[in-house]
Amino acid sequence: MACCHADFAALEGSDRGFTLGMPTFTFGAGVLAEAGDSAAELGLRRVALFTDKRLAAGEHVAKVKQALAAAKVDCVVYDEVAIEPTDVSLQEATRFARDSNIDGYVSVGGGSVMDTCKAANLYATQPAEFMTYVNAPIGAGQRVPGALKPHIACPTTSGTGSETTGIAIFTLTSMNAKTGIISRRLIPTVALVDPDVTRTLPANVVAATGFDCMSHALESMTARPYPRRLNPAQGVRRPVSQGANPFSDTLATQALTSVGQYLVRAVDDASDSEARTEMMYAAMLAGIAFNAAGCHLPHGLSYAVSGLVKNFHVDGYPEGKTLVPHGMSVVLNNPSVWRHTAVALPQRHLRCAEALGAKAQGATPDDAGEVLAGRIVELMRATSMPNGIGALGFGEGEIDALATGAEPQYRVIKNAPIDVDRDVLRRLFRAALRYW
Ligand SMILES: NC(=O)c1ccc[n+]([C@@H]2O[C@H](COP(=O)([O-])OP(=O)(O)OC[C@H]3O[C@@H](n4cnc5c(N)ncnc54)[C@H](O)[C@@H]3O)[C@@H](O)[C@H]2O)c1
Ligand SMILES: [Fe+2]
């Protein structure tokens, strides 16, 4: 592709292009009522409706069930989805899918629900031993050999963008590490993105998922540009996460502008439907962007934080288990990472800071990391995020364990615009202990 931007100039041996995958999506207040017609249009007669226990009894699932019934599509409900799924919970969901005699899937929930539905569809439709499709080097990383059954994804949080991605994330219990399955075959067939669902979201969930969306956009913008990707495979073997590209840049920049304008309002006021709608739209855009570009350090580091945290709980999330919300574990590493990586792509970091609403007038490339980190700290403080990973109970004594915990994440970490070794990981975690 002829592109005006030097970051995308072809290099000797580099990939010749980039590929964009996304579902057919419908965005708008009230579109959950279209679930039945969508299913019928796909030729579905009996679907499995995946959700979690909390949502199962609520109005959003009721609306989707009603729409399916009106379209004469049978539905069996699976509401045992684990919030922050594991290999164990995914395999339970797969057993349900296998035994249900269904011809398609509908998911109504956040990333935990949509990812569980993707994995159940995968293993029920293309059966294999569980580690077969899990990302290498943790799993065998084999390609998914054929199509999955149709999946209509209805997100109820405004952050993961999972309704648009070919990614399913889970914790592998034997390693206590997060990993995932990535394939374009996992991209839902249809996404019904209805911002009305965000009315019932607790403030903490809006904040955590909003920062997940922000980080997806920032990591898309600052991932190694696709012609500089370390794995230059092309065609059908081109990785889903192929590096920054002009298309994901456009969507990510728009998502950052919305986060800068609307995140704090959306957290502060559940009745601010303009802000909550804009955050829902931003999450979808950032999902399409990061699915194509890939995440890197903030996500790679977050998986060690969420795996090693002890005795931590946030209101709005299930009681009785230690859990750092995904978006919270991601944002806590953000300022530290950008201060370190800005030197590699200073103009891109500055562009991100400006989109997020930083006062960047007169800033030089040398200031890029600080300007971006400063704006994120402002947003963290305005939404009552913890003051760094220190506030989760980590200290100097855990830095080595965190660095070791992040190492299995080299699949994502190698998308970073700079090379990273264990020493750098230690420095990044140390600088993330406390911000103000
Ligand atoms: N596949 C991807 O592309 C992708 C991307 C980012 C994150 N993830 C994964 O997604 C998971 C996190 O998902 P999430 O942040 O969307 O949250 P979640 O699905 O874990 O849900 C968080 C909490 O919010 C509740 N909730 C959801 N929607 C609600 C609503 N409308 N009203 C009231 N309560 C509601 C849930 O019941 C739950 O208690 C993690 O496992 C993360 O790793 C996946
Ligand atoms: Fe994420």
- Atom of ligand 1 at shortest range from CA of 287: 3
Confidence of residue 320 (pLDDT cuts 50, 70, 90): confident
Nearest CA to ligand 1 atom 38: 317
Q: What is the pLDDT of residues 44-94, one digit of tens each?
A: 999 999 999 999 999 999 999 999 999 999 999 999 999 999 999 999 999
Taking all residues of the chain, what is their mean pLDDT, rounded to a whole number? 95
Looking at residue 4, its pLDDT comes to 45
Nearest CA to ligand 1 atom 6: 160
Confidence of residue 408 (pLDDT cuts 50, 70, 90): confident
Confidence of residue 1 (pLDDT cuts 50, 70, 90): very low
**Which residues, including other chains, have CB under 8 Å from residue 221's CB and lie 6 or more apart?**
244, 248, 249, 252, 253, 256, 293, 348, 351, 352
CA gap 155, 284 in Å, rounded: 9
Q: Which residues have CB under 6 Å of ligand 1?
A: 52, 54-55, 83-84, 109-113, 115, 156-157, 159-162, 165, 167-169, 197, 200-201, 205, 209, 212, 317-318, 326-327
Is 352 in contact with 249 (CB distance < 8 Å)?
no
Give the Å distance between the CA of 109 and the centre of ligand 1.
7
Looking at residue 78, its pLDDT comes to 98
Q: Is the pLDDT of residue 3 over 50?
A: no
Lowest mean pLDDT among 87-91, 116-120, 357-361: 357-361
